[in-house]
């Protein structure tokens, strides 16, 4: 006797019984495609929610590797992942496939920039913000407005955070709200101000619920405000921003001047949130050959490498190099110094 195949909807029974979602909403969810930009603190919570909720396809894009101090808040990673030097996107995907094998999970270990973001999002129904810097957020904003795709912004620091949902043409965009990012040094970073796991989870959960509404087609329920919370002071605010649409002279959604997407703004060298480190991004025509590189660098001491990265110490700085030529150089905030170190040790 043939065993009946289980109904794919069964595992979502507790979700479909929520009347505002229902079976129709769930079916929409299961056909949906999401690009998740960033899989760190916000990103891991987002990925966990969306995969469990049963999106159709999730593309997880993250440039970084797991370190032990991530474990305090980046919920998909564990000590074994740290020991294996796994990229965040890869480690997240391994866990998520065990959580819900019905979801197509794609990983891209790369730095999102204006040369690659189109390819990463053009087939997505929704873009989710799991990033840690405004450069990438403005890039997401440009491409979302240009391609008419919704996206959800989230930011968190210390015990507080903010979120806003951007639906092109219906809500203000990120640049309507904050036209230019604060320069480095003007705002706290996770290194100076810290960040608490529950605050991360709250903001990411707010983002995730908005994603579920959008992907299931429940547009009427979408958040129209800038939500701000502080979990230490118990502040919860809904700031009215809807009327900014069309009122502010937005270079992005009003003038369709996509300065970040066109590469007019933005850099390829960025200081990293919460660490005394700089990432230098260089486009190569072919991936680096790590065994050869390890031989060349052998005089420096121990060179560790695997398929995903090569790591060594030089002049008191730890270098992590990726096959695509990117390097994260620790022990400096100085972009010029990092570029010099890169040139000296990683090469041109």
Partner 1 sequence: MPVVRIPTPLRPHSGGQDRVEAGGATVGEILNDLGTQFPGLKERLFDGEELRRFVNIYVNNEDIRYLDDLETKVEPKDEVSIIPAVAGG
233 lies in the site for partner 1, by CB under 8 A: yes
- The number of CA neighbours under 13 Å toward the Cβ of 262 is 7
243 lies in the site for partner 1, by CB under 8 A: yes
10 Å CB burial of residue 264 (0-12, 13-18, 19+) is: exposed
Q: Which of 12, 134, 206, 345 binds partner 1 (CB under 8 A)?
A: 134
Q: Which of 28, 107, 131, 165 binds partner 1 (CB under 8 A)?
A: 131
Q: Which of 145, 160, 214, 319 binds partner 1 (CB under 8 A)?
A: 160
Closest to partner 1 by CB, 219 vs 232, is: 232
40 lies in the site for partner 1, by CB under 8 A: yes
Instruction: Please say if 39 is a catalytic residue.
Output: no
Cα–Cα nearest to 64, from 51, 74, 72, 52: 74
Q: Which of 188, 198, 263, 291 binds partner 1 (CB under 8 A)?
A: 188
Residue 103: DSSP 8-state: S
251 lies in the site for partner 1, by CB under 8 A: no
Stretch that binds partner 1, among 16-24, 81-89, 185-193, 298-306 (CB under 8 A): 185-193
CB of 278 to partner 1, least distance (A): 16
Q: Kindly report the number of other CB atoms within 10 A of residue 98's CB atom.
A: 8
CB of 155 to partner 1, least distance (A): 3
Contact criterion met (CB below 8 Å) for 55 and 32 = yes
Q: Which of 64, 129, 142, 210 binds partner 1 (CB under 8 A)?
A: 129
What lies within 8 Å, CB to CB, of 155 at 6+ separation is 161, 162, 163, 203
Stretch that binds partner 1, among 91-99, 108-116, 126-134, 332-340 (CB under 8 A): 126-134
Q: Phi/psi of residue 190, each to 5°?
A: -60, -25
181 lies in the site for partner 1, by CB under 8 A: yes
CB of 216 to partner 1, least distance (A): 24
Instruction: Quote the CA–CA distance of 27 and 37 in Å, as a whole number.
Output: 24
- The number of CA neighbours under 13 Å toward the Cβ of 290 is 17
21 lies in the site for partner 1, by CB under 8 A: no
206-243 b/e with 16+ CB inside 10 Å = b? bbbbbbbbbbbebeeebbbebbbbebeeeeeeeeebee
Contact criterion met (CB below 8 Å) for 319 and 345 = yes
**Residues 47 to 76 in contact with partner 1, rule: CB under 8 A:** none
Cα–Cα nearest to 265, from 138, 122, 121: 138
Closest to partner 1 by CB, 163 vs 320, is: 163
Contact footprint for partner 1 (CB under 8 A): 38, 40-43, 129-134, 137, 154-158, 160-162, 177-182, 186-190, 193, 195, 226, 228, 230, 233, 237-241, 243-244, 247-248, 273-274
């Amino acid at each position: 006797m043939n065993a009946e195949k289980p109904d794919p909807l069964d595992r979502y029974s507790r979700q479909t019984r929520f009347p505002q979602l229902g079976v129709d909403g769930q079916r929409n969810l299961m056909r949906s495609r999401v690009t998740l930009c960033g899989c760190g603190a916000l990103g891991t919570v987002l990925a966990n929610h969306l995969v469990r909720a049963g999106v159709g396809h999730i593309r997880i894009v993250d440039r970084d590797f797991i370190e032990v101090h991530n474990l305090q808040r980046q919920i998909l990673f564990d000590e074994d992942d740290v020991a294996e030097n796994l990229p965040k996107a890869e480690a997240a995907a391994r866990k998520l496939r065990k959580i819900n094998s019905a979801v197509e999970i794609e990983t891209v270990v790369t730095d999102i920039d204006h040369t690659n973001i189109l390819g990463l999002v053009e087939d997505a129904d929704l873009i989710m913000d799991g990033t840690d810097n405004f450069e990438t957020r403005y890039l997401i904003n440009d491409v979302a407005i240009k391609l008419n795709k919704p996206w959800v912004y989230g930011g968190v620091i210390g015990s507080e955070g903010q979120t806003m949902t951007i639906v092109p043409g219906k809500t203000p965009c990120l640049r309507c709200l904050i036209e230019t990012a604060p320069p480095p040094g003007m705002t706290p970073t996770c290194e100076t101000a810290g960040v608490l796991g529950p605050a991360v989870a709250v903001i990411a959960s707010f983002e995730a619920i908005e994603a579920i509404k959008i992907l299931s087609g429940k547009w009427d329920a979408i958040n129209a405000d800038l939500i701000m919370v502080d979990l230490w002071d118990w502040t919860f605010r809904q700031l009215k921003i809807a009327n900014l649409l069309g009122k502010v002279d937005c270079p992005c959604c009003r003038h369709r001047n996509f300065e970040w997407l066109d590469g007019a703004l933005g850099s390829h060298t960025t200081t990293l949130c919460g660490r005394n480190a700089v990432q230098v991004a260089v486009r190569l025509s072919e991936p680096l050959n790590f065994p050869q590189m390890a031989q060349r660098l052998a005089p420096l001491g121990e060179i560790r490498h695997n398929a995903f990265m090569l790591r060594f110490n030089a002049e008191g700085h730890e270098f992590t190099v990726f096959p695509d030529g990117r390097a994260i150089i620790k022990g400096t905030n100085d972009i010029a110094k990092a570029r010099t170190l890169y040139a000296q040790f990683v090469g041109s």
